[in-house]
A and B are shown apart, each in its own frame.
Chain A
């Protein structure tokens, strides 16, 4: 089984050096550019490969690039931005890549820049990723010293500059238009779309914002081609995916695997099943802005095309497992408190609605909830659904709530009838498990 993105990452946590990177085939794509691979050829290869964005939305990368104005009359400069904000709870895949193989991101950025003819790139990195920052800064300095950055690439005339921007917190910075405001040194509130960043983005110029993991795929697609890339996966979406599992399982961690692997294989084979003394109840497939899945969904291929929208979506591919010793209401309360805290406050339904949801869930945990509160939760799931708020944060917050109300309805009811959280009495037991 091929693992192009991670096969050379050191298991001991040290970083892959420039020397290793080059010896193992790194920066070789640049020779292909020199040999005549034009930007439109790179775009075509990526489209044929079926690469879909790994930032959570699964948007087709080739399609996204096709909206960028090209040719001699296109606005200058254009920008390419790596989204390394990675603050979606439960998600740690981009960190693994940036810490383990920083040159892979530099090369991915050069290729993406070349493909859309963007001469300037930024890596937008969350402020807490100090180790990633240190290693990326070194990789960027080395790439400048080697002439991969800051000088016209041989045979192409294309020159690319790359900067690292360390951010200062706030989950909303990961939303691409909020990220653009943050990079401009402003409050990170989202911008209205349209215009889309592909035409009017950073400082008003055409801009592509791309997830870190997405960018790591580019050198491999260019080196090995679209057919090879399709063969990596088990489904119609091309490539591998960095999957992860956290929660009470025997072996929490991350694995690069073919796209389309099932949740059951991940859970049983790779995470080696549930931890001693707990049973599986449900999972969030990729970060906390995705809907719960339960036992009946374990055999669905975990990719962008196979999960029916009425069930949910893959999200970031890093799963969080809910076990039977953990209260599902308390679980969702933790998520909604996060969203309420991280709301940027720009639009009223989200700013006011999320704290309300958190308050309602608190009343369930405290034994003060009535069946009216249950209907109020259901209503919020509708009021904050897509289309009612300025950006995707609030609808994302409703995905786990709405699905929890569906799958764990009895548990919500039990909080009402038994006057509190049936799990809190087990907290002593829980402490032992931890």
Chain B
């Protein structure tokens, strides 16, 4: 069941749109912020609130890569793999993460600490390669620096 706070947040989100459906993405992201990901149960609750079918909402949820329909770790590292970062060696940074934490793209460490995902250009190309962990962006990342960065996220 949606908690009181969640319900209030969703009601708030709906205010920006002429119909409830307009808030579908905001609603998914709002609940995800609280619960970490969108389980089938969460999906049903949100669909009910928005007065759309769960299938319809799932077609939206599965379209967007920042909506997680599977559990993720306590932290998520988004590794930019677009061109400017590729030129500057993002593949080596990712290899280093794999070596240090035994986790490949799309996977979560066995202790549930870190999920590593690829991401499209983070708009930080002048300081490539770039990585975003949760909401924090790091530029000019190197294989040498990445451990120190990830260690801030326990």
Contacts and interface: CB of A to CB of B under 8 A. Distances in A.
Nearest to A184: B22
A168 B84 contact: no
B126 A244 contact: yes
A168 B29 contact: yes
Contacts of B92: 431, 434
Contacts of A183: 22
A170 B63 contact: yes
Given A248-B87, A331-B83, A338-B120, A168 B67 contact: yes
A182 interface: yes
A247 B25 CA distance: 34
Nearest to A128: B122
A187 B63 CA distance: 6
A323 B86 CA distance: 13
Contacts of A244: 125-126
B60 A87 contact: no
A142 interface: no
Contacts of A246: 84, 87, 125-126, 128
A127 interface: yes
B116 to A, nearest CB: 16
Given A168-B29, A184-B21, A434-B142, A320 B120 contact: no
Contacts of B124: 92, 95
B78 A128 contact: yes
B119 interface: yes
A126 B59 CA distance: 20
Contacts of A335: 83
A254 B78 CA distance: 24
A417 interface: no
Given A185-B17, A320-B84, A331-B87, A88 B121 contact: yes
Contacts of B132: 128
Nearest to A130: B135
Contacts of A426: none
A185 B13 CA distance: 12
Chain B interface size, under 10 / 10 to 19 / 20 to 34 / 35 or more: 35 or more
Interface stretch (A19-27, A159-167, A302-310): A159-167
A310 B125 CA distance: 28
B29 A320 contact: no
A214 B124 CA distance: 20
B97 interface: no
B125 A167 contact: no
A288 B127 CA distance: 17
A288 B78 CA distance: 20
B148 interface: no
B126 A334 contact: no
Interface in B104-150: 119-128, 132, 135, 137, 142
A129 interface: yes
Interface string B7-34: 0000000001111011111101100000
**Cβ-closest 9 pairs across A and B:** A185-B24, A168-B64, A89-B82, A246-B125, A434-B89, A89-B121, A169-B65, A246-B84, A169-B66
Given A94-B123, A130-B135, A245-B126, 11 more contacts: A127-B66, A167-B25, A170-B64, A170-B65, A185-B24, A187-B59, A248-B88, A288-B83, A335-B83, A341-B120, A434-B89
